[in-house]
């Protein structure tokens, strides 16, 4: 339950227009606060600007107008305190799994022995023991996505931006990863923004679900999820869960 | 898989064997039918074997090896190629990398790169001979110029083709520019750099054959060819050509091996040959 | 590649900077090459003393003069400078060699090389990519031949064909051929193969398959190969002309002479520079031509 209500991320009237042959208005005035230790999920139709918003928060895009504040200071560029898992494949194919996982630590200047320890722990977390020395070409799409998530977790960022991290996983692994993420969040209390197409995943993990309108993206509705934690398989079948699911689907379905 | 390679090897040997036998037959027929007196520009040349039989090729090869001419020529020419390659790549690769990273540098150098790209390196030969003398320096610099242009373009394109997502991922993991250059840009561009080195190596051999005609002092493959052509002695020319062919092939195989080693991480390395 | 592409200044800046760098270098060269008029070179330290001579670094105006003379075939100069039939430029003018004429001859050789060598190379590449058996029998022979630098062949070719037109062309054709085979081969084998399988499944076969599926799918690779072959063709052309030609830019650069001792005669750097600039311009123009033609031909590959 999100008790401390300090604002970690503040988005004020964020508008983004992609210039080009045909200017695309991707975001049309999004205002959103994410509190410290809050788990926020964003769902919305394809092309509704979810990735655009996350990239703005991550610092890779400048909003056309509006501001994004992180801990009260405007975001000017990417930084390791905002760990970002890309929607597309971003695992470095020329590095072994071990080197991929350790890259953030290397960038931070963590000594080799310490790095090894953390990497070993992460390998265990994602269940890739025995693959430490493998190149990503030997991994399945889902496995490399997990490496990407773990790579971001390695440096223990305060904020996690996850853009459809589990889209490629099978149902079982996906639910396992969801539980891992849930556990991790409860243990380390990070601030998380999770973009997903999976409403169930959003409700299961988040404190709050934001539904986007079709392009140009705007917030259609916010739903607070007050299901008790820790959540489990039982949660997924509880009447409260199903009621939330129904109400979100209704919002999505409404034109 | 194994059977497939066996068949390939078998067929390769078969076709090369047939070629060799055909040449043997042609040289026999040729020695009877082809003219041995040839009109060259101003005079006749006597005793020409246009298709020298294996016996005289072997005899010539043995002579060239025993007298030390061929081994020394090989060493001299190979050394020039490698020195030119090293020098050219040492200039071309860093320049290409920095042009791809620094827009201002790219714009400043762009007209000159375009200029050199379309100037056949051999055209610089008389100029270099004038500037750097008729010795070793002008030959190596000529090879280096050809190599530098090719590797510069390879390195530049290699860096430009690095997918943006890797750079962004590294950045958001907190990597500094130096680390990004070492751990992201360099390994991602390396395959293209190495294929440009492979092309450059081929060009270097083309260049050296001609460059060695300047004030040629005996041992070198280009000079061997020129001298043999001046007599002319076809068997010497043939041994020279075969030697160069083998060296080019060996260099190419080495470059290919290096490429394969450096791209083990790639999903499917672009095929053989 | 750069993180913030939007932050790049507009294209005009790019042209401007490029122009500025050309002008700056030409100006710097002009100053340097005229320094011998002001400073007595014999007073300078060693590497500079050798360099700052008009015979080594021709002053810019001498290059312009050489250009005018080579284009006008010896039209009297405004400055009234005299020609010596013995030197490089005088010899050329005496033989009525012009820059544009030489470029034309060389271009003609390059084009023949591209036409003949290119079509043979594409044919061989198609066959090798098309049929595994052909590939396995022919590829080793191809590799054997490809490894021989074309210019190494010239003396041998001359014995067969005599000193005429053809023996200059053969190395060029050969060079283009060897260059074009591999890209075509990979285009057909690696890329077109997928489409060929799909088209076969749809019942297409024979000629239709070749003309509608294989050639179009392989054509971007063939064009890339041709673009590179253009560079190789120019290289070879200049090479053969320098070694054995009686005309063309290679001949202009060397200024003739007995072929075995050709490269030992010191040329006039002004002529060489004019020739090189001409080569670069024509090479560039031809590359643009191939690219434009190629874009037309491959419009269907919208990526
Ligand atoms: N780099 C770009 N240049 C131009 N337009 C873009 C760019 N990236 C995205 N867009 C456009 O902006 C809109 C929003 O894109 P965005 O990627 O943010 O959508 P999304 O909600 O993440 O979609 P999805 O669920 O498919 O990932 C789309 O219409 C897209 O076409
Ligand atoms: Mg998206």
Q: Ligand 1: does its nearest atom lie under 6 Å from the Cβ of A49?
A: yes
pLDDT of residue C104 exceeding 60: yes
Q: Ligand 1: does its nearest atom lie under 6 Å from the Cβ of A196?
A: no
Task: Give per-residue pLDDT as tens, B139-194.
Answer: 999 999 999 999 999 999 999 999 999 999 999 999 999 999 999 999 999 999 99
A55 CA closest ligand 1 atom index:
18
Report if residue A152 sits inside a domain: no
Task: Among the bound ligands, name the one nearest to the CA of residue A43.
Answer: 1
Report if residue A126 sits inside a domain: no
Q: Whose CA is nearest to atom 28 of ligand 1?
A: A47
- Kindly give the distance from the C-alpha atom of residue A32 to the centroid of ligand 2, in angstroms, as a whole number: 18
Distance (Å) from the alpha carbon of C10 to chain A's nearest alpha carbon:
14
Report if residue A253 sits inside a domain: yes
Sequence length of chain A is 255
| Tally of domains in chain C | 2
| Residue B161 DSSP code | T
- Do C103 and C27 share a domain, yes or no? no
Contact B251, B81 (CB under 8 A): yes
Residues 6+ apart with CB under 8 A from B71: B65
Q: Ligand 1: does its nearest atom lie under 6 Å from the Cβ of A46?
A: yes
Q: Ligand 1: does its nearest atom lie under 6 Å from the Cβ of A16?
A: no
Task: Give per-residue pLDDT as tens, C239-274.
Answer: 999 888 888 999 888 876 655 566 666 678 888 999
Among residues B32, B31, B50, B27, which one has the least CA distance to residue B40? B50
Residues 6+ apart with CB under 8 A from B92: B147, B148, B149, B150, B151, B152, B154, B155, B200
Does residue A60 sit at the C interface (CB-CB below 8 Å)? yes
Say if the Cβ atoms of B126 and C141 lie within 8 Å. no
| Bridge partner residues of A163 (DSSP) | A195
- Do C112 and C24 share a domain, yes or no? no
Report if residue A69 sits inside a domain: yes
Residue of C nearest to A78 (CA): C3
C6 contacts in chain A (CB < 8 Å): 19, 62
Residues 6+ apart with CB under 8 A from B89: B147, B148, B151, B197, B200
pLDDT of residue B36 exceeding 80: no
SS3 letters across chain C: CCCCHHHCCCHHHHHHHHHHHHHHHHHHHHHHHCHHHHCCHHHCCHHHHHHCCCCCCCCHHHHHHHHHHHHHCCCCCCCCCCCCCCCHHHHHHHCCCCHHHHHHHHHHHHHHHHHHHHHHHHHHHHHHHHCHHHHHHHHHHHHHHHCCCHHHHHHHHHHHHCCCCHHHHHHHHHHHHHHHHHHHHHHHHHHHHHHHHHHHHCCCCHHHHHHHHHHHHHHHHHHHHHHHHHHHHHHHHHHHHHHHCCCCHHHHHHCCCCHHHHHHCCCCHHHHHHHHHHHHHHHHHHHHHHHHHHHHHCCCCCC
Contact B88, B121 (CB under 8 A): no
| Residue B122 DSSP code | G
- Kindly give the distance from the C-alpha atom of residue A52 to the centroid of ligand 1, in angstroms, as a whole number: 6
Label residue B209 by pLDDT band (50, 70, 90): confident
Q: Whose CA is nearest to atom 19 of ligand 1?
A: A47
* Residue where the block lists tokens 């002001």: C38
Task: Among the bound ligands, name the one nearest to the CA of residue B165.
Answer: 1
C131 or C175: which leads in pLDDT: C175
Structure tokens at C214: 């294989």
Label residue B271 by pLDDT band (50, 70, 90): very low
Contact C110, C286 (CB under 8 A): yes
Q: Whose CA is nearest to atom 7 of ligand 1?
A: A18
Q: Ligand 1: does its nearest atom lie under 6 Å from the Cβ of A64?
A: no
Residues 6+ apart with CB under 8 A from B185: B97, B101, B159, B162, B167
> Helices B221-230 & B69-101, crossing angle to 10 degrees?
130
Model pLDDT, residue C77? 53
Taking residues B44-57, report their average pLDDT.
84
The proportion of chain C whose per-residue pLDDT surpasses 70, expressed as a percent, equals 84
Strands A7-18 and A65-70: antiparallel
Lowest mean pLDDT among A124-128, A182-186, C201-205: C201-205
Average pLDDT, whole number, for chain B?
88
SS3 letters across chain A: CCCCCCEEEEEEEEEEEECCCCCEEEEEEEEEEEECCCEEEEECCCCCCHHHHHHHHHCCCCCCEEEEEECCEECCCCCCCEEEECCCCCCCCCCCHHHHHHHHHHHHCCCHHHHHHHHHHHHHHCCCCCCCCCCHHHCCHHHHHHHHHHHHHCCCCCEEEEECCCCCCCHHHHHHHHHHHHHHHHHHCCEEEEECCCHHHHHHHCCEEEEECCCCECEEEEEECCCCCCCCHHHHHCHHHHHHHHHHHHHHHCC
- Kindly give the distance from the C-alpha atom of residue A66 to the centroid of ligand 1, in angstroms, as a whole number: 18
Residues 6+ apart with CB under 8 A from B178: none
Q: Whose CA is nearest to atom 17 of ligand 1?
A: A51
Instruction: Please work out, in degrees rounded to the nearest 5, the angle formed at the alpha carbon of residue A212 by the alpha carbons of A210 and A218.
Output: 110
Q: Which of residues 5-64 of B touch C (CB under 8 A)?
A: 7-8, 11-12, 14-16, 19, 38-41, 48, 50
Distances (CA, A) of C254 to B190, B245, C236, C270: 39, 28, 15, 12
- Do C123 and C231 share a domain, yes or no? yes
The best mutation among A51, A56, A217 to test binding of ligand 1, ranked by most ligand atoms within 8 Å of the C-beta, falls on A51
CA–CA gap between residue A179 and residue A232 (Å, rounded): 8
Whichever domain contains A73, its CATH number is 3.40.50.300
Structure tokens at B228: 């043999």
Q: Which of residues 55-84 of B touch C (CB under 8 A)?
A: none
C5 contacts in chain A (CB < 8 Å): none
Say if the Cβ atoms of B167 and C3 lie within 8 Å. yes
Model pLDDT, residue C66? 87
Structure tokens at B4: 């497939």
CA–CA gap between residue B216 and residue C261 (Å, rounded): 10
- Do C24 and C160 share a domain, yes or no? no
- Do C146 and C249 share a domain, yes or no? yes
- Do C103 and C36 share a domain, yes or no? no
Among residues B76, B108, B111, B116, which one has the least CA distance to residue B92? B116
| Bridge partner residues of A191 (DSSP) | A159
| Option in A82, A88, A135 nearest B165 (CB) | A88
Model pLDDT, residue C9? 55
Strands A82-85 and A73-74: unpaired
Q: Whose CA is nearest to atom 9 of ligand 1?
A: A52
Reduced to 3 states, what is the DSSP secondary structure of residue B45? strand
Q: Ligand 1: does its nearest atom lie under 6 Å from the Cβ of A19?
A: no
CA–CA gap between residue B131 and residue B49 (Å, rounded): 40
Report if residue A245 sits inside a domain: yes
Say if the Cβ atoms of A78 and B171 lie within 8 Å. yes
Provide the sign of the torsion angle of the four alpha carbons B237, B242, B245, B251, taken in this order: negative
Report if residue C88 sits inside a domain: no
Report if residue C49 sits inside a domain: no
Provide the sign of the torsion angle of the four alpha carbons C105, C107, C112, C113, taken in this order: positive
Is residue C95 packed enough to be buried (19+ CB in 10 Å), middle (13-18) or exposed (0-12)?
middle
| Residue B264 DSSP code | T
Report if residue C110 sits inside a domain: yes
Among residues C21, C24, C63, C31, which one has the least CA distance to residue C276? C63
Model pLDDT, residue C80? 45
Say if the Cβ atoms of B117 and C231 lie within 8 Å. yes
Whichever domain contains C262, its CATH number is 1.10.3720.10
Report if residue C117 sits inside a domain: yes
Q: Ligand 1: does its nearest atom lie under 6 Å from the Cβ of A26?
A: yes
Q: Phi and psi (nearest 5°) for A110?
A: -70, 140
Does residue A215 sit at the B interface (CB-CB below 8 Å)? no
Report if residue C275 sits inside a domain: yes
CA–CA gap between residue C41 and residue C33 (Å, rounded): 12
Report if residue C68 sits inside a domain: no
Model pLDDT, residue C266? 67
- Do C117 and C261 share a domain, yes or no? yes
Q: Ligand 1: does its nearest atom lie under 6 Å from the Cβ of A35?
A: no
Q: Ligand 1: does its nearest atom lie under 6 Å from the Cβ of A47?
A: yes
pLDDT of residue A53 exceeding 80: yes
> Helices B234-262 & C132-146, crossing angle to 10 degrees?
120
Say if the Cβ atoms of B213 and C243 lie within 8 Å. yes
Task: Among the bound ligands, name the one nearest to the CA of residue A21.
Answer: 1
Model pLDDT, residue C263? 61
| Bridge partner residues of A212 (DSSP) | A219
* Residue where the block lists tokens 């054997």: C144
Among residues C209, C221, C193, which one has the least CA distance to residue C301? C221
Report if residue A108 sits inside a domain: no
The best mutation among A19, A52, A166 to test binding of ligand 1, ranked by most ligand atoms within 8 Å of the C-beta, falls on A52
Q: Ligand 1: does its nearest atom lie under 6 Å from the Cβ of A20?
A: yes
* Residue where the block lists tokens 């039982």: A234
Report if residue C23 sits inside a domain: yes
Sequence length of chain C is 303
CA–CA gap between residue B185 and residue C154 (Å, rounded): 43
Taking residues A12-25, report their average pLDDT.
89
Contact A121, A105 (CB under 8 A): no
Lowest mean pLDDT among A58-67, B207-216, C179-188, C278-287: B207-216
Model pLDDT, residue B72? 93
A45 CA closest ligand 1 atom index:
25
pLDDT of residue B81 exceeding 50: yes
- For residue A130, the tally of other CB atoms under 10 A from its CB is 9
C6 or A229: which leads in pLDDT: A229
SS3 letters across C220-269: HHHHHHHHHHHHHHHHHHHHHHHHHCCCCHHHHHHCCCCHHHHHHCCCCH
B179 or C222: which leads in pLDDT: B179
Taking residues C63-78, report their average pLDDT.
76
C3 contacts in chain A (CB < 8 Å): 60
Label residue B273 by pLDDT band (50, 70, 90): very low
pLDDT of residue C79 exceeding 50: no
- Give me the domain span that covers residue A55: 1-79+195-255
CA–CA gap between residue B235 and residue B243 (Å, rounded): 12
- For residue A136, the tally of other CB atoms under 10 A from its CB is 23
Model pLDDT, residue B270? 45
Among residues A36, A32, A45, which one has the least CA distance to residue A5? A36
* Residue where the block lists tokens 């060009």: B203
CA–CA gap between residue C134 and residue C142 (Å, rounded): 11
Report if residue A86 sits inside a domain: no
- The alpha carbon of A9 is separated from its chain's Cα centroid by a whole number of angstroms, namely 14
The best mutation among A19, A50, A195 to test binding of ligand 1, ranked by most ligand atoms within 8 Å of the C-beta, falls on A50
Say if the Cβ atoms of C3 and B19 lie within 8 Å. no
Task: Give per-residue pLDDT as tens, A104-123.
Answer: 999 999 999 999 999 999 99
CA–CA gap between residue B167 and residue C1 (Å, rounded): 8
| Tally of domains in chain A | 1
Q: Ligand 1: does its nearest atom lie under 6 Å from the Cβ of A52?
A: yes
B244 contacts in chain C (CB < 8 Å): 147-149, 152
Reduced to 3 states, what is the DSSP secondary structure of residue B174? coil
Q: Whose CA is nearest to atom 18 of ligand 1?
A: A49
Contact B77, B226 (CB under 8 A): no
- Give me the domain span that covers residue C30: 1-41
> Helices C132-146 & C118-130, crossing angle to 10 degrees?
140
C195 or A7: which leads in pLDDT: A7
CA–CA gap between residue B223 and residue C264 (Å, rounded): 13
Contact B145, B87 (CB under 8 A): no
Instruction: State the chains in contact with B (3 or more Cβ–Cβ pairs under 8 Å).
Output: A, C
Does residue A60 sit at the B interface (CB-CB below 8 Å)? yes
pLDDT of residue B48 exceeding 90: no
Q: Ligand 1: does its nearest atom lie under 6 Å from the Cβ of A87?
A: yes
CA–CA gap between residue B205 and residue B208 (Å, rounded): 5
Report if residue A237 sits inside a domain: yes
Report if residue C250 sits inside a domain: yes
Q: Which residues surround ligand 2, an ion (CB under 5 A)?
A: A 51, 87
């Amino acid at each position: 339950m999100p008790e401390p209500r300090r604002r970690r991320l503040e988005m004020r009237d964020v508008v983004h227009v992609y210039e080009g042959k045909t200017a695309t208005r991707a975001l049309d005035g999004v205002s959103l606060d994410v509190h410290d230790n809050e788990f926020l999920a964003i769902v919305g139709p394809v092309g509704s600007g979810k990735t655009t918003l996350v990239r703005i928060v991550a610092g890779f895009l400048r909003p056309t107008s509006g501001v994004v504040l992180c801990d009260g200071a405007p975001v000017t560029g990417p930084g390791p305190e905002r760990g970002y898992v890309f929607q597309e494949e971003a695992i470095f194919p020329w590095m072994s799994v071990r080197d991929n996982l350790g890259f953030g630590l290397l960038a931070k200047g963590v000594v080799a022995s310490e790095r090894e320890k953390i990497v070993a722990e992460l390998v265990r977390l994602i269940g890739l023991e025995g693959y430490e020395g493998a190149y990503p070409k030997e991994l399945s799409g889902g496995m490399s996505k997990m490496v990407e998530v773990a790579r971001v977790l390695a440096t223990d960022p305060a904020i996690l931006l996850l853009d459809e991290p589990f889209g490629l996983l099978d149902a079982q692994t996906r639910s396992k990863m969801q539980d891992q993420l849930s556990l991790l969040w409860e243990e380390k209390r990070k601030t998380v923004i999770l973009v997903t197409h999976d409403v169930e995943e959003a409700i299961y993990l988040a404190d709050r679900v934001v539904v986007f309108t079709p392009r140009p993206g705007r917030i259609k509705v916010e739903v607070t999820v007050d299901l008790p934690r820790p959540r489990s398989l039982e949660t997924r079948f509880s009447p409260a869960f199903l009621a939330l699911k129904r109400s979100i689907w209704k919002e999505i379905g409404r034109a | 898989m194994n059977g497939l390679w066996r068949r390939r090897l078998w067929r390769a040997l078969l076709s090369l064997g047939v070629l060799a036998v055909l040449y043997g037959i042609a040289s026999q027929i040729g020695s009877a039918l082809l003219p041995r007196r040839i009109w060259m520009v101003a005079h006749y040349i006597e005793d020409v074997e246009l298709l020298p039989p294996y016996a005289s090729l072997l005899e010539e090869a043995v002579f060239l090896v025993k007298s030390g001419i061929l081994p020394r020529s090989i060493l001299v020419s190979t050394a020039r190629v490698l020195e030119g390659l090293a020098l050219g790549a040492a200039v071309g690769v860093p320049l290409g990398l920095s042009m791809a990273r620094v827009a201002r540098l790219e714009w400043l150098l762009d007209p000159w790169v375009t200029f050199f790209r379309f100037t056949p390196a051999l055209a610089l030969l008389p100029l270099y001979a004038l500037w750097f003398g008729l010795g070793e320096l002008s030959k190596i610099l000529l090879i280096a110029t050809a190599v530098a242009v090719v590797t510069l373009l390879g390195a530049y394109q290699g860096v430009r083709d690095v997918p943006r997502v890797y750079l962004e991922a590294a950045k958001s993991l907190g990597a500094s520019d130096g680390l990004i250059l070492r751990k992201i840009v360099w390994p991602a561009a390396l395959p293209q750099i190495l294929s440009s080195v492979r092309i450059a190596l081929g060009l270097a051999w083309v260049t050296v054959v001609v460059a060695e005609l300047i004030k040629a002092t005996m041992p070198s493959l280009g000079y061997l060819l020129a001298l043999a052509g001046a007599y002319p002695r076809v068997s010497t020319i043939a041994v020279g050509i075969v030697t160069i062919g083998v060296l080019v092939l060996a260099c190419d195989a080495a470059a290919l091996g290096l490429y394969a080693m450096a791209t083990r991480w790639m999903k499917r390395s672009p095929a053989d040959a | 590649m750069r993180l913030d592409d939007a932050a790049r200044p507009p294209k005009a800046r790019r042209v401007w900077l490029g122009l500025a760098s050309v002008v700056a270098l030409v100006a710097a060269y002009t100053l340097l090459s005229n320094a011998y008029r002001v400073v007595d070179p014999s007073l300078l330290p060693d590497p500079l003393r050798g360099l700052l001579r008009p015979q080594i670094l021709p002053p810019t105006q001498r290059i312009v003069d050489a250009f005018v003379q080579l284009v006008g075939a010896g039209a009297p100069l405004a400055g009234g400078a005299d020609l010596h039939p013995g030197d490089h430029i005088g010899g050329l003018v005496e033989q009525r060699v012009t820059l544009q004429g030489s470029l034309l001859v060389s271009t003609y050789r390059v084009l023949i090389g591209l036409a003949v060598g290119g079509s043979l190379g594409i044919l061989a590449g198609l066959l090798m990519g098309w049929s595994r058996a052909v590939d396995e029998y022919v590829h080793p022979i191809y590799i054997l031949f490809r490894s021989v630098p074309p210019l190494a062949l010239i003396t041998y070719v001359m014995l067969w064909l005599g000193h005429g037109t053809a023996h200059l062309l053969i190395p060029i054709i050969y060079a283009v051929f060897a260059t074009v085979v591999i890209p075509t081969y990979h285009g057909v084998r690696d890329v077109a193969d997928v489409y060929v399988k799909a088209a076969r499944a749809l019942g297409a076969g024979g000629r239709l398959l070749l003309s509608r599926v294989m050639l179009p799918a392989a054509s971007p690779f063939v064009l890339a190969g041709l673009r590179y072959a253009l560079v190789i063709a120019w290289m070879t052309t200049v090479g053969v002309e320098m070694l054995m030609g009686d005309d063309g830019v290679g001949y202009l650069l060397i200024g003739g002479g007995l072929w075995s001792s050709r490269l030992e005669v010191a040329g006039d750097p002004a002529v060489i520079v004019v020739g090189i600039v001409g080569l670069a311009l024509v090479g560039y123009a031809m590359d643009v031509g191939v690219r434009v033609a190629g874009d037309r031909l491959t419009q269907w590959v919208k990526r």
